[in-house]
Amino acid sequence: MVRYVHPLREGGSLPAIVEADDEFSYVLKFRGAGQGTKALVAELIGGELARAIGLRVPELVFMDLDDSFARSEPDEEIQDLLRFSVGLNLGLHFLSGAITYDPVASIADPLEASKIVLLDSLITNIDRTVRNTNLLNWRKELWLIDHGASLYFHHNWGDYHAHARRRFPMVKEHVLLPRASELEAAREEIGNALSEEVFRGIISVIPDTFLAEEGSDLSPDDKRTIYLEYLTMRLEQLDTLTKEAADAR
């Protein structure tokens, strides 16, 4: 990161548009925000799973932040956020000119909508509702953003087996559920695209610094093993989650 441009105050975690040394702009998610690095892990896993099943997600990159930005920032709230975020953070390529998905006016392909609904059921993403769609229309295409509120099992590591077996009743609030008329076809595509090997590949790129946690008895590799087990168990629930979504429609 070479320049902090401005904050995006619509989000509770106060992400920001920044410029990097590759001369591109990114939306930077900070490790010092409310949910800490767990939100960055969820963002990374959710985004790369979406990409694996053929959905559009802005490029995800790791971005290093040094302490000079906090020293030069006049806003005290942002200054604190920058100071607590020194080190490795996560950025999403900024889609200039994109507009927020409007469930009334925007177009969503039924199969694409169905895949998004089932992906969010798999990763327990509670944050894709009419109130906060976390979807963008860019160049007449639908793009997914903001997966930081998913995988909430990792706020209580000891109960992950029970979490993995749960259904996802929040699916009834999903902004795309009314358009998700191809759930069975989506289930088949997701089942063919995802596997333990795919999960392992995504999890392997999570930096240790995102997984290290003061006071935790679990090492970064222990947590990678848990993420792998959890996602594998969730994929085994895909038929049940598909039926749940169909019933909710």
Please check whether residues 103 and 89 belong to one and the same domain.
Answer: no
Range of 43's domain? 3-93
The amino acid that residue 233 corresponds to is: M
pLDDT of residue 67: 83
Nearest-CA neighbor of 135 among 159, 107, 161? 107
Same domain, 37 and 123: no
**Could you tell me if 84 and 125 lie in one domain?**
no
Are 75 and 146 in the same domain? no
Looking at 93, 123, 148, the residue that finishes a domain is: 93
Q: Are 229 and 249 in contact (CB under 8 A)?
A: no
Mean pLDDT per segment of 10 residues, for the chain of length 249 residues? 75 81 93 91 98 98 86 77 92 95 89 98 96 94 95 92 96 97 98 98 98 91 98 98 98
CA 47 to CA 202: how far, in whole Å?
Answer: 10
| Residue 45 shares a structural domain with residue 134 | no
At residue 214, the pLDDT reads: 83
Pick the last residue of a domain from 65, 93, 121.
93
* Whole-number pLDDT of residue 35: 83
Same domain (yes/no): 75, 184: no
If DSSP codes are grouped into helix, strand and coil, which group holds residue 108?
coil
Give 106: exposed, middle or buried? Use CB within 10 Å, 0-12, 13-18, 19+. middle
Q: Which one of 72, 93, 114 terminates a domain?
A: 93
Q: Are residues 127 and 165 in the same domain?
A: yes
DSSP letter for 212, please.
Answer: -
Same domain, 82 and 132: no
146 and 239 share one domain: yes
**Total number of domains constituting the chain:** 2
Are 135 and 30 in the same domain? no
Measure the CA–CA gap between 193 and 48, rounded to whole angstroms.
12
* Angstrom distances, CA of residue 216 to CA of 139, 154, 158, 222: 44, 12, 11, 11
pLDDT at 6: 79
The answer to whether residues 89 and 105 belong to one domain is: no
Edge-to-edge, what's the strand order for the sheet holding 25-29? 3-7, 16-19, 25-29, 87-93, 60-65
What proportions of the chain, in percent to the nearest 5, are helix, strand and coil?
45, 15, 35
**Shared domain check, 29 and 132:** no
